[in-house]
Amino acid sequence: MSTPHRLFRTAAFAEAVTWALLLTGMFLKYVTETTELGVQVFGMVHGVVFVAYCLAAVLVAVDQRWSLGRLTLGLVAAVPPFATIGFERYAERTGLLGQHWRLRSEHPAGPVERVTAWLLRRPAQGLLVGLVAVAGLTGVALVIGPPA
């Protein structure tokens, strides 16, 4: 994504949409008792997008110098349905989402910023690392099992 604002907005919206799909699947499974397919399919889709949203939040937080508290709030917003939309609006209103990637041009301070700068300055490799991270973390979540 070309800007922190665009990446975070897209991730927040996608996370909310997959929540809606998962809730629809749960309605079909538990209320109408017609099919489990919605939960099986949309549960996996939501899990993958949840992980992607969390990684996007961390990337934007490091680049835009969010406090640990704001990052935590952004990550926690992924848990209740649709809360990522509210957090994205809050982040936009309070100036947390810039229109450019700071670490593409600024000198990074510390190891976390150095890694983030490397990812941002090499978009193709950064995207590949992001995809591998989403796949790996999703795999770990599958091994651990679904939330109780």
- Rounded to 10 degrees, the C-alpha dihedral 82/90/55/47 comes to 0
Provide the pLDDT for residue 94: 97
**Mean model confidence pLDDT for the chain:** 95
Give percent of the chain above pLDDT 70. 98
pLDDT in tens, 18-54: 999 999 999 999 999 999 998 999 999 999 999 999 9
Query: Is the confidence at residue 148, as pLDDT, over 90?
Result: no
Provide the pLDDT for residue 5: 97
One-character DSSP codes across 58-114: HHHHHHTT--HHHHHHHHHTTSSTTHHHHHHHHHHHTT-S-SS-GGGTSPP-SHHHH
Q: Is 44 helix (H, G, I), strand (E, B) or coil?
A: helix
| pLDDT, average across residues 98-122 | 96
Instruction: Single out the residue of 44, 55, 66 nearest to residue 141, CA to CA.
Output: 44
pLDDT in tens, 4-20: 999 999 999 999 999 99
